[in-house]
Structure 1
Amino acid sequence: MLIVGCGDVGQRVARQWQALAGHTGRHGPRVLALTSSPDKRPALQALGITPLLGNLDDARSLRRLRGVAQRVIHLAPPASQGAHDVRTARLLRALGPAPQALVYGSTTGVYGDCGGAWVDETRALQPGTERAGRRVDAEQQLRAWGRRSGARVNVLRIPGIYAPDREGGTPQGRLRKGLPVLRPADDVFTNHIHADDLAQALRAALWRGRPQRVYNVCDHTELRMGDYFDLAAQIYGLPQPARLSRQEAQQVLPPMMLSFMSESRRLRNTRMLRELRVRLAWPTVAEGLTAGQRRG
């Protein structure tokens, strides 16, 4: 198995394979990881991962990927500019003979603003940012490649990832900075997935995903963003954030943060539960954050 973009989530996938192999007494798949940083090789090796040095921005460095794996998890983000995801295009050319399965970690931002409506995987895509537009392009490239090559491609659309043991993986830092949130009249619905549950879904898709199928990967939480931060403040014993109108927030918050406050949707995860048979360890953010606080 090859993991492209083997950061926190990719490493969780590898650790879960190791734990499963230890529990069953069977050998798990050999895990390879593409990394552009030589400094990361010792940490990957310590996890039982074989690092392959290469960079998705340099096609020549990817030659060794040809035919190297039967299953691929692609978690690398697109470049920060342009209408197309050239990194995914280079990866597909480099893989050569198609693997049996490729799972891509996309974003729920491809849906754009849905006005708080419930959203399943059949909803038309309306990305509201260039960043999300590049994800749409990557999805289209991958699914077309899967149809041509015969590889089973699955796209996992991922919302906000959290985990108490993930760097920046909880709202605690934002709360300590005292950053405001939107007042209820202007607030948006937000969606979440614990990093361990995301890793589980990625593993499940490698074996159970249907050909060229898309899956929303999220927990059962149904909260507006401000309520999410209020809940986190209660769990951490911190002051609840101030509530501002959208117009007031535009004067004090950075554009990137505002972009996440401009889209509202509630994701349906029925397909993930039924087809991938994922059993969420953390069905809601309340459970995931509270458990992390107890461990801390």
Structure 2
Amino acid sequence: MKKQFKKWGRPRLLIVGCGDVGLRLLPLLRASFRVYALTSQPARCAELRAAGAIPLVANLDNAASLARLSGLASYCVHLAPPRSEGVKDQRTQNLTAILPDKSRLVYISTTGVYGDCGGASFDETRPVKPQNARAIRRVAAEEHLRRWARQSHSRLAILRVPGIYAADRLPIERLQKGTPALADADDVYTNHIHADDLAQLIKLALFRALPQRVYNAVDDSDLTMAAYFDLVADTFALPRPPRLPRNELAQQVSPMLLSFMSESRRIQNRRITSELGMRFQYPTVAEGVAAAVAATVAATFATTPTTKSP
């Protein structure tokens, strides 16, 4: 039987995988929760504490290290990815083993679970069809979480997330290197969400998500991958990437990058706007990238020494 911690004050929330998005989420939750952040790196404790979380050192790959946290928090945001091998997600199984019954959990999955959809437009009712090992592991995690939620009478929300971008998460280095993009005839549709919008969406899902509900966590953009690269290049005054047919591009990029360039999806987001009341700070990538370049310019001026008149 899981140990139950005595309840007092604000409800406890555990963030698992508290990286960039988790740090953006923390300011949105500190007033409502006593927030704990799980990390396997003791060196990150000071950073997490400064951001307003109580750091806990444990490792999702080591179930024994999690045992002392059993029953600690009845709210959980699960941002940690599966390991990079296998077809299951043991990390997620280790996590649910320490959560009390009647918990509320938001899981950050991926739109990759849909596989290649040939550029079709669709919503959350489309069946999953993972076509690479990463997506197969995510589907396994989703399936495990559904079983856990039913058995523990918990509330689960699954956010299927596409490419996350922000001012410091843009393909600037790729553009500077001149890495090619696909020619128009072979190009794929991609989906996006700004990291700040994702953090806001996670908060809404914690409070408003329907039980055992899947949500596509995508913005309103409708872009091909090469158009996205061109947009960033134009905004930052960089050369647009050269375009190549798929067979030529395959000889110049890594297999992992090529796999991302082999799946085409146009994902709808009506469920997050109608059910969760999501209002985007950056409804499209164009607005998010424009804000990023404005922030870059402002930061440059702020750090540039001024000269005084004689």
Q: What is the match of residue 39 of structure 1?
A: 43
Distance in 2, matches of 1:248 and 1:228, equals 20
Structure 1 runs of 4+ aligned residues shifted over 6 Å read none
Aligned residue runs from structure 1 range 150-161, under 5 A = 150-161=153-164
Alignment check: 8 A CA contact 1:71 1:99 kept? no
How far off is 1:99 after superposition? Answer: 4.6
How do 1:214-293 and structure 2 match up within 5 A?
A: 214-293=214-293
CA distance in 1 between partners of 2:101 and 2:40 (Å): 23
SS in structure 2 at match of 1:127: coil
Taking the aligned partners of 1:11 and 1:119, their CA distance within structure 2 comes to: 31
Task: State the distance in 2 between where 1:40 and 1:272 align.
Answer: 32
Picking from 119, 143, 147, the partner of 1:116 is 119
CA distance in 2, matches of 1:106, 1:172: 25
Instruction: Provide the C-alpha distance between the structure 2 equivalents of 1:10 and 1:151, rounded to a whole number of angstroms.
Output: 22
Does the aligned pair in 2 maintain the 1:117–1:265 contact within 8 Å?
yes
Q: Supply the distance in 2 between the matched residues of 1:222 and 1:105 (Cα, whole angstroms).
A: 22
Amino acid at match of 1:45: R
SS state of the match for residue 134, structure 2? helix
The two structures have a TM-score, normalised by structure 1, of 0.94
**1:7 is matched with which residue?**
19
- Secondary structure at the aligned position of 1:106 is classed as strand
Aligned partner of 2:69 in structure 1 is: 65
Is 2:29–2:35's contact at 8 Å kept on the other side of the alignment?
A: no
Q: Which piece of structure 1 moves more, 33-42 or 99-108?
A: 99-108
2:6 corresponds to: none
Deviations 1:219-271 (A, max 9, x none): 10000000111111110001100000000001111111101000000010000
Q: Aligned letter for 1:144?
A: R
1:8 corresponds to which letter in structure 2? D
Residues 54-77 of structure 1: CA deviation (Å, up to 9, x unaligned)? 001101100122111121000111
CA distance in structure 2 between the aligned counterparts of 1:65 and 1:282, rounded to whole angstroms: 37
SS in structure 2 of the partner of residue 90 of structure 1: helix
Aligned partners of 1:79 and 1:241: how far apart in 2? 32
Between Structure 1 and Structure 2, how many residues are aligned?
A: 284
Task: Please give the per-residue CA displacement for 1:131-155, whole angstroms capped at 9, x wherever unaligned.
Answer: 1000000000001111111110010
Match of 1:84 in 2: 88
TM-score, normalised to structure 2, is 0.90
Residue 302 of structure 2: aligned partner = none
User: Could you tell me how far 1:11 is from its partner in structure 2?
Assistant: 0.9
Instruction: Tell me the alpha carbon deviations over residues 29-60 of structure 1, each in whole angstroms, 9 at most, x when there is no partner.
Output: 11101100000000000011001110011011
CA–CA distance in 2 between the matches of 1:123 and 1:178? Answer: 36
Aligned counterpart for 2:53 among listed residues 38, 49, 55: 49
Tell me the equivalent position of 2:208: 208
Any conservation in 2 of the 1:229–1:241 contact (CA below 8 Å)? yes
> Any idea what the Cα deviations from partners look like across 1:1-43, whole Å, max 9, x if unmatched?
100000010111102234xxxxxxxx43111011000000000
Q: Percent identity at matched positions?
A: 55
Amino acid at match of 1:40: R
Give the SS at the match of 2:34. coil
Distance 1:108 1:255 in 2: 19
Q: C-alpha separation between the residues in 2 aligned to 1:244 and 1:64?
A: 54
Aligned residue number for residue 22 of structure 1: none
- In the other structure, the counterpart of 2:171 is 171
| RMSD over aligned Cα atoms | 0.9
- Kindly indicate whether the alpha-carbon contact (under 8 Å) linking 1:183 and 1:243 is maintained by their aligned counterparts in 2: yes
* Contact persistence 2:189–2:224 (CA under 8 A): yes
* Alpha-carbon distance in 1 for matches of 2:267, 2:72: 35
Which residues of structure 1 form unaligned runs of 5+?
19-26
Query: One-letter code of the match for 2:141?
Result: A
Aligned to 1:56, the other structure's residue is in SS state coil
Once the two structures are overlaid, the 10-residue window that deviates more, 257-266 or 98-107, is: 98-107
Cα distance in 2 for residues equivalent to 1:274 and 1:67? 33
Report the CA distance shift for 1:41/1:99 in structure 2 as closer, same or farther (over 3 A). Answer: farther
